[in-house]
Amino acid sequence: MISREIFYFERPGPVNTDQTLTLGIRRAQELGLIYLIVPSITGYSALLAAEKVHELATNSRLQVICVTFRAGGTWNVEKPPPGKHWQEIPELRQRWEEWQRKGLKRVVFDEEIKARLAEYRIPVVQATDLAADIESSMASDLGVNSPKTIMKETLFLICPGLKVAVFTTMTAADSGAIPVEQEVVSFGGTEQGLDTALVVKPSYSDRVFHPRYGFEIREIICKPRSMIGASGFYYDRAWGAQS
């Protein structure tokens, strides 16, 4: 029998980023792992991960892999983002207000951060989000749902960060950035920052359910204990029901 601790945050959000990285990096070192999968819309979370590795893991072979938007991918912020978590999670509300003050219409990967990541030799995987591909257009533009929607919402039953960690790890595997035979530590979050960390055995996306080569969540290192907000809605779940 093996006993492992799971760290539960009181609430989701970017406020947990530093502790999430610390816990994930320490667990990777304990297990002798190499790869840290970090989803990052602007590159900032990946940069924090690189700096944290440099701080905590000197003489380590740990490698941060940044996974971000596909080519041409942007985050439209002209209108308030969907979901009540953008109003109820303080850091997200502050981020939205900051974007408004700056007059931003969209958020993209930061080129200055990309240059700094290059100094740390951090590869940036720019690829299609497995949750936002052809089937997503079928759902949003044609009103046709798919089994992938069910899979995504099922992972949300644990927390949105877990879905992000699972999908971005497969994206990294599909791109050839990581091997699928080795365990990795994968991170996720609630829109911005990080609040979830896992130990997973990766797979390619077309083999996720394969009986021999499929994906496996082996450890939950940390996650928000609950995703329910002050409004009584679960953050990031079934957006249409929150309007």
CB 8 within 8 A of CB 157: no
DSSP H or E run through 92 = helix 90-102
Q: Please tell me the predicted confidence (pLDDT) of residue 243.
A: 46
Residue that has been written with the tokens 């993209």 in this structure: 108
Q: Please tell me the predicted confidence (pLDDT) of residue 238.
A: 66
Q: Please tell me the predicted confidence (pLDDT) of residue 182.
A: 96
Q: What pLDDT, in 10s, does the model give residues 190-204?
A: 989 999 999 999 999
Q: What pLDDT, in 10s, does the model give residues 36-54?
A: 999 999 999 999 999 999 9
CA angle 100, 103, 104 (to 5 degrees): 90
CB 71 within 8 A of CB 43: no
3-class SS at 34? coil
> What span, in angstroms and rounded, lies between the C-alpha atoms of 192 and 15?
10
CB 186 within 8 A of CB 200: yes
Q: What pLDDT, in 10s, does the model give residues 132-177?
A: 777 777 776 777 677 778 888 899 999 999 999 999 999 999 999 9
Residue that has been written with the tokens 């974007």 in this structure: 99
pTM equals 0.92
Please provide the distance, in angstroms rounded to a whole number, between the alpha carbons at the two ends of the chain: 46
What's the mean pLDDT in 208-235?
94
Q: Is the pLDDT of residue 241 over 80?
A: no
Long-range (24+ apart) CB contacts under 8 A made by 88-91 are: 88/229, 88/230, 88/231, 88/235, 89/11, 89/12, 89/13, 89/14, 89/190, 89/229, 89/235, 90/13, 90/15, 91/13, 91/14, 91/15, 91/192, 91/193
Q: What pLDDT, in 10s, does the model give residues 77-111?
A: 777 777 788 889 999 999 988 988 888 888 888 99
Q: Which amino acid is at 224?
A: P
- Which of the two residues, 181 and 129, has the higher pLDDT score? 181
89 DSSP 8-state letter? S
Q: Please tell me the predicted confidence (pLDDT) of residue 104.
A: 85
CB 156 within 8 A of CB 166: no
- How is residue 35 written in tokens? 């790869």
